[in-house]
A and B are shown apart, each in its own frame.
Chain A
Amino acid sequence: MKLFKKSLLKSLWVFHLPLSPCNNCDIEIVDALTPRYDLERFGIQLVGSIRHADVLLVTGVPNYKNWQKVKYLYEQAPKPCFVVAVGTCACGRGMFKDSLNSPCNVDEIVPVSMYIPGCPPKPEAIISGVVKLVERLKSNKL
């Protein structure tokens, strides 16, 4: 079991789920995967299908069109699956908090394991967030 857990932490495959963001957070996520930062060192890969994913990177604010789909997608992912909210929007909706077309926060729909604030967060912040997620998982706090 310990081996399986270790191997899970060493190869987190990331699925990128944009919920109508302003696109800056997405650019920063893609930036974190470029050769300069090279997340493949830690075994982190961007995958295209939710079935392959271990981590759901959520960016942006949920709106009435997509907030149920987040739940639907989370249920489709093979467990264990962790949700990471990237950007102020996904963490707490920021300036869209009282907006008329946003029903709720991301963490009211799915359980969020890690928040990475910033508008947008720097790639360094994203990497340190992922590292903190791995450390929390290691010490069994989740």
Chain B
Amino acid sequence: MDSVVCLDNGACSIKIGYITDEKPKVIPNCIMKAKSEKRRPFIGNQIEECRDISGIFYILSFTKGYITNWEVQKNVYDYIFSTEFPVNFSDTKLIITEPLFNFPIIQEAMVEIFFEEYDCCAMAKTTAPDLCYYQYTNTQDLDEPPLCCVVIDVGYSFSHIVPFVKGKKVLSAIRRIDVGGKLLTNHLKEIISYRYLNVMDESYVINQMKEDGCFISQDFNSDMANAKLKYPENKIAREYVLPDCTTIRRGYLQPPGTAKKTDDYQMLRLNNERFAVPELLFHPLDIGIDQMGLAEATIHAINACPEETRPHLFANIIVVGGSAKFSGMQTRLYKDIRSMAPEFFTVNVTVPEEPQTYSWYGGQYLANDPNFEQSLITRQDYEENGARGVLFDE
């Protein structure tokens, strides 16, 4: 078989590798500028070479989950395909993901770029939830693979609930929640800045603080009550030591009272922020976004599917995406969905060990699907019909 590269083109990070690779490379999908370095920008994981990570300025190619800045996206591709992951697309097929309900003109641009700039021989467009479906249904330890599943993709720009029936997305049942990793980081930045210390310019650091310090509450009201208490009765409060540009590269969490007067690091005290921020995934209305949260929208999505498929859908729920990594995600989602689902249905919720790269692994199953060759856009197709022609049969 020809070699195939799978590229999961996320708004926050690109996951790329040959489908035969053990795991993908994860590369930030952005260009960054540092206050301390005025001679060069940092593309993708070049940011690891940057000594002073305060005040990092981001340039992203995505707006609200869709590619709107092709100049930036092309610069990141150039960097990846020449330096980070050199690949010759003239003899390597490409599987690439696009967002759900991608706009026609963005699809056109993507096809044109790969055939014109990267000498692509053949490409297949798919979505991360589709890859996730392949990965999930092919790796379940069952006599027969499940025919239905629900993919909950908790991404950077938004979250989607995507029911699959016999390998196909039920398009009319897909639900989008406008809460994702970016909104959570920005909200944390906002409240920290108001309560303790101005960190409005520190998206990079506060994003790490969110990853290190936030968790999903299993009982919101009782955690709120506990957070009102003083340490040690308070089980929520922690100190977060902020990175400096010399010895502490990444911030870290420690119990309250650990910091001594003699310590010269900067520190923030985190309390109800730790769980009130990820809670927005379950209750977007807490900050005024009047939408159903993850559990409620999952019920709504499943109920929009044919009745006979529902028991299978409830039994096969898989949660992926960078923001699925918060601890407590599996137990909380299970608890909430269980309480809202019809009693006689089995509910299973799986959060894989690596939710951020889970979809990428589905590329190998897609490439081995009997319909794969047929779904490819080949160079010949492209040269005869152009990008618009191969996409939309005009």
Do these two chains interact? Answer: no
